[in-house]
Amino acid sequence: MRRKGALILTLSGLLTVSALGATTASADDSPAPAEVAPEGWQVVDDALMNELLVRAGEARLSAEADEPEELPWGIQSVTNDLFVASEQSFREPNTGLLRARSEGINGSWELYDLYWNENETLSIRSTANEKFVAAELNRTGSEKGVLRARSEGVNGGWEQFILLYHEVTGRYAFQSVANGLVVSTEKNFTGNLQNALRARSDWINGSWEEFYLI
């Protein structure tokens, strides 16, 4: 597979980003996503991503809620160079937990379908169990906000993310609509939660919050 982030990097100077005008309707009264992404980060919407991919000769993301894009994606953590897997063998309540722990894309556990919602937020569905990734805000302590492929559909802000892109590095970040926090790879966690993905950072502070889309 080719790194789509690198392809987008070569085209970033040709396009400008449209502001994210719509806010999210969510049962948990979640905060509205940020309309301005400072420090070189841009908010990616359906139109921008599609134009970038078309110009680069890659697959087009689907704007239809019931139709996935043509090719599933791998998500690679910048901080440890490992791919994000959906842990299907973990027992509840961790079944489907997202962890950056695989050396490569070995199968459906490391692949995800990406969907654009009508409000220009992004939803992620694991190809392993065909469930949408949610930020688990009901958990407490260090597990609050962990990402898990466990939802049958997009029910609100828990399953919605703002996709951010850095035009210089070609890296991506995911901001949870549910709590307004950015997804981080938790390298300091131990055991089954080591390198778990969690919506917990106030902003993109370094490689822990940065990813490639492959």
Mean pLDDT of the chain: 79
Residue 125, domain member (yes or no): yes
- For residue 132, pLDDT over 90 is answered with yes
Look at 122 and 67; give whichever has higher pLDDT.
122
Residue 27, domain member (yes or no): no
Residue 114, domain member (yes or no): yes
Q: Considering only 12-16, 70-74, 75-79, 133-137, which range has the smallest mean pLDDT? A: 12-16
Residue 30, domain member (yes or no): no
- For residue 136, pLDDT over 90 is answered with yes
* Model pTM score: 0.78
In the DSSP assignment, the letter for residue 28 is T
Residue 31, domain member (yes or no): no
- CB contact at 8 A, 8 and 56: yes
- For residue 86, pLDDT over 50 is answered with yes
Which residue range forms the structural domain that includes residue 198?
4-15+37-213
Dihedral angle of Cα 15, 20, 21, 23, to the nearest 10 degrees:
160
Look at 58 and 102; give whichever has higher pLDDT.
102
| Strand ranges in the chain using DSSP code E only, listed in sequence order | 41-43, 75-77, 83-87, 97-102, 112-116, 122-126, 132-136, 146-151, 161-166, 172-176, 182-186, 196-201, 211-213
Residue 21, domain member (yes or no): no
The pLDDT, as a whole number, for residue 37 is: 57
Residue 32, domain member (yes or no): no
Q: Does residue 103 sit in helix, strand or coil?
A: coil
When pLDDT is cut at 50, 70 and 90, the band that residue 111 belongs to is: very high
Residue 91, domain member (yes or no): yes
The CATH number of the domain holding residue 42 is: 2.80.10.50
Q: How far apart are CA 81 and CA 212, in angstroms?
A: 9
The pLDDT, as a whole number, for residue 13 is: 31
Look at 184 and 30; give whichever has higher pLDDT.
184
- For residue 68, pLDDT over 70 is answered with no
The pLDDT, as a whole number, for residue 46 is: 74
**Residues paired with residue 201 on neighbouring β-strands, in sequence order:** 182
Residue range 157-178, pLDDT digits in tens: 999 999 998 888 889 999 999 9
The pLDDT, as a whole number, for residue 170 is: 84
The count of structural domains within the chain is: 1
When pLDDT is cut at 50, 70 and 90, the band that residue 93 belongs to is: very high
